[in-house]
Amino acid sequence: MIKVCKFGGTSMADGVNMARIRSILDRDPARRYIVVSAPGKRYSGDTKVTDLLYETARDVKERGHVGDAYAKVCERFQSIAHELGLTLDADALLSECARDIERENSAEFAASRGEYLAGRFMAEYLGVPFLDARDIVRFTANGRLDACTYGLVREALKGIPKAVVAGFYGADGEGNIRTFTRGGSDVSGAVVARAVHADVYENWTDVSGFLACDPRIVPSPAGISALSYKELRELSYMGANVLHSEAIFPVREADIPIRIKNTFRPDDEGTVILPSSRYRPRARPVTGIAGMKNFTVIFLEKSLMNAEIGFAYRVLEVLLRHNISFEHMPSGIDTMSFVIESGQLEGGLLDTVCEEIRAAVAPDRMNVFSDVALIAVVGHGMSRNVGIAARLFAAIARTGVNVRMIDQGSSELNIIVGVDNENYERTMRAVYEEFFKN
């Protein structure tokens, strides 16, 4: 049994938390490969080491040398070394990193040093080898993960019973350090899990897994004990953020489950994310509800639209011309709507797009609704259950909210409901009540 464990920024925030990690690892010998983030916030209002390092990169660009931000990075690592009683020469390591950051003069390089140092410290503390991601995680020239990484990681870990790998970064073919997008140590963990054919990818964070609804809207919502990769994709794209969205792909392809665990409550079960083939939906038809505000809906109506060849194509051409992506495209026989994140239409672009659509397809009617919120009701259980949509819309109707748009994914895995921004919270609560309190 091999478990790959990734520990996030809060779990790595200080020496006390890193000691918690050691006891988590001691409890289970299958926890063999550890992927670490840079130290995150110790308390609200604190600054993440990664943010200090981006600031350091700006200092180097402007003045040619590291400044106050790097001094704070040093303090963080020095106190970790002190708390853990490490014997490595932290000062020498930190000075060497400062020189490297000044020489490389690259934001990605500077940011990567958080994970590099965290990995070095953790490996020393656990008494296991440290693997520099620079040597084993390969990026393509355009910043994507190169598939040769899996072979490199597998080779490097062959015969090594336990090791620490730095998350978040790697190097391109020329040896330049590259990073994933923010929160990318989740991706590194998934990559290592796949490379070593792990039985499970444990992602240790500061929450006990996914919740069925946003806790800022519904107080103490139910936890989700299991969900499928597909459900996770729908929920995280609609704002349920526990895991980096790209972390799913490496492990999903290799059929490896992800378990989200809480470093601060290690006995909590957390959430397991399973490939659809292994996932058994529970009695509850809805697994989770997520949502986001601020979408714009462009609604078009034209008689005999269904017979007009290329109608949608011509509208999409307008969006393409302006590099605008759309989220959903619900349609009726003579109607079609395009749901677009409003931020993409700022600065007068909405008017331009509407004019161009009018010129391209001459609709009989065109309405624009701004300030629309989308709510995704997600669950495999919905597809075999009669009457779920009826319950959903009856619950929304009872709160007196007008539904602006409905879209059901063809897999019947989700129903998306559009309401006015101002009704977002009310609707979320009503839907949660209906499916989780009854």
| Pairing label, strands 169-172, 177-179 | antiparallel
Which lies closer to ligand ASP via its Cβ, residue 251 or residue 396? 251
Across 109-254, where does the E strand assignment appear? 130-131, 138-139, 163-166, 169-172, 177-179, 200-205, 226-228
DSSP 329-342: --B-SSEEEEEEEG
Residue 377 C-beta: closest distance to ligand ASP, Å: 29
DSSP 40-64: --SSTT---HHHHHHHHHHHHHHHS
Q: Are 394 and 427 in contact (CB under 8 A)?
A: no
Residue 186 C-beta: closest distance to ligand ASP, Å: 6
Q: Are 403 and 413 in contact (CB under 8 A)?
A: no
49-63 helix and 90-104 helix, angle to the nearest 10 degrees:
50
Which lies closer to ligand ASP via its Cβ, residue 185 or residue 423? 185
> What is each CA distance from 143 to 38, 140, 162, 180, in whole angstroms?
21, 5, 29, 8
Residue 86 C-beta: closest distance to ligand ASP, Å: 21
CA distance 186 to 34: 12
DSSP 207: S
> Apex CA 211: angle with CA 6 and CA 383, to 5°?
110
CA distance 96 to 78: 14
Beta-sheet strand order (sheet of 169-172): 138-139, 169-172, 177-179
Beta-sheet strand order (sheet of 335-341): 335-341, 288-301, 365-378, 414-420, 405-408
CA distance 96 to 77: 14
With 0-12 CB in 10 A as exposed, 13-18 as middle and 19+ as buried, what is 388?
buried
Handedness of CA 403, 287, 205, 274 (dihedral sign): negative
Interaction site with ligand ASP (CB under 6 A): 9, 37-38, 48, 50, 114, 167-168, 182-186
> What is each CA distance from 427 to 100, 399, 431, in whole angstroms?
52, 7, 6
Which lies closer to ligand ASP via its Cβ, residue 171 or residue 428? 171
Residue 242 C-beta: closest distance to ligand ASP, Å: 12
Chain centre to alpha carbon of residue 88: 34
Which lies closer to ligand ASP via its Cβ, residue 167 or residue 381? 167
Which lies closer to ligand ASP via its Cβ, residue 183 or residue 257? 183
Q: Are 91 and 78 in contact (CB under 8 A)?
A: yes
